[in-house]
Each structure stands twice: as structure tokens, then as C-alpha cells.
Chain A
Amino acid sequence: MIVPVSHVAALSAGLFALGLFGALARRNGIGILISIELMLNAANLNFVAFSRAQGDGSGMGQAAALFVIGVAAAGAAVGLALMLAIYRHRRTIAADEIDLLKG
């Protein structure tokens, strides 16, 4: 391991925080999707790093990472479809204007 695991973990934490900031702050729906992808990648990074650091040889970490990628793909697809539908319907995909659920 060329770099101690803690550093990799720190990196993924930073990435995760950036993604979270994006999800919370961006107005554009697709911007949020992008941020989510970032957060997922941060998680993958952790998976791989720990699997590498002290895995038990079962490849669970990497398998998990693979699955996360799969899920992310599904998520992005559906998300974008939604965005398209909303856009077609409401001419905007700014998150703060879509407030049908307002109480």
C-alpha cells in the first residue's frame, strides 16, 4: 500500500463532502445528479482502499464497488428520465421550483 489507508479515507471523505455540498447547494436537478455520482465514487474508493488494506481475500470490497457502480448507473438513468419528464412538463428542472409536496 503505497499510501497509508487513512490518507485514502481522508481523500474519499473530502470527495464525499464536496458531493454532498453539491447535492445541497446546486439549483439544477442534473447538477444534483452529478454531485450524487461524486458521493458514490467516494464510497467506492473507500471500499477498494479497505479491501486492499486488510481484506480477507474474498474480494468483497471490489465486488461491492462493482455493485455500487451498477446501482449508480440504474440511478442515473432513472434520475435523468425523471429530469426529462419534469423539464418537458414544467419547462424547468430547478429543484426549488418543484415543490408540489409543500405542506
Chain B
Amino acid sequence: MSDPVGPLEWAAKAAFYCVAALTLLGGWFAVSQRNLFRAALGLALALFGVAVLYLFLQAEFLAVAQLLVYVGAILMLIIFGVMLTAGIADPAVPRWNRQAVGAALACGALAVGLVAAVLRAPWLAGAGKEFTLPLEALGRGLLGRYLLPFELLSLLLLGALIGALHIARKEKE
């Protein structure tokens, strides 16, 4: 969908920022919740947020892929993981480990640094003409120029599948 013009544009910008804020919130929950299930939900919120952002960036296929794969598959996996490992809600288990403070400082500094650098960086905004990528071009790309990574990815997934199965299998006594 091409860029709307005028007042509509300001609303879109506001929506965009709102979704961004929601994504961030979800991220924070995913990271901080003592109860892992809630953390998983936080992650879900964040994933949704990202999907919406893709839409804003006219990457529709990606948004759908995000929803299907990430939310549908990976999240489910994580939830199963949470379920299978006891103590998900045990309040006595401290949420952060010893180096939480240090980690927080480091990440805070990183964040500030990155954001400052990004905002001040002289992006080539508008150097190239903005253009949207027709889906059909993406498909041809995947099976054309990026055929090799595509095949490798399938191989990787197969390997991971077998590996995961083997590791998680219950040992025969």
C-alpha cells in the first residue's frame, strides 16, 4: 500500500510509533517477567508488534511469515519448553542472576550509544528512490539468486529437527 498523504500520513506516523512502543513493552515483559509463561506472552506481544511494523514497511509477506513461523511455531515451542521444565512460577527462584546490574548498565550504555549513533548518522535518506518490492520479485529472488541459501536453510532445518529429537529423546534405561 503506497504512502498516504497529508493528515492521514500523520495518523500513520502516530500509529507506527504506537506499535513501536507496544513492541518495546512486550520486549520488556519477555525479559523481566519472573513467571516464564508471562514472559512468553510478552514475547508474543513483541512478535505481533514487529509483524505490524513489517506491514508499515510494505513487507506483507514477511509479516505473514513472521506470524506463522515465529508466533505459531517458535512461541509454541517455547511455551512447551516452559511447561515441561518445572518451577516456572516458583517465586523463590530469583529472576535475575548475579550480574543483572552489570548487564543492565552495559545494555543501557549500548542502547544509548546505538540510538545516538543511528539518529545522528547521515543516512542516505531518499538517496535512492523509495520503491516497494513486488512479492513476485521476492519469490523469483528466493529461487533465483538466493537459491543456495534457500536450499541450505532447508538442510539446516532438517539437521536441527533430527538433533532436537535425538537430544530430547528419553534415554532407554
Contact = CB atoms under 8 A, between A and B. Distances in A.
Q: Within 8 Å by CB, do A and B touch in the complex? A: yes
Interface residues of B, number: 97
B85 A15 contact: no
A57 B168 CA distance: 43
Given A76-B78, A87-B84, 19 more contacts: A5-B123, A11-B23, A15-B23, A20-B110, A21-B104, A37-B70, A41-B46, A51-B59, A52-B59, A52-B133, A60-B146, A62-B59, A67-B149, A70-B69, A73-B73, A77-B160, A81-B166, A84-B85, A88-B170
Interface of B: 3-4, 9, 12-13, 16-17, 20, 23-24, 27-28, 30-32, 36, 39-40, 42-43, 46-47, 50, 53-54, 56-59, 61-62, 65-66, 69-70, 73-74, 77-78, 80-82, 84-87, 93-100, 102-104, 106-108, 110-111, 114-115, 118-119, 121, 123-125, 127-128, 130-133, 137-138, 141-142, 145-146, 149-150, 153, 156-157, 159-161, 163-168, 170
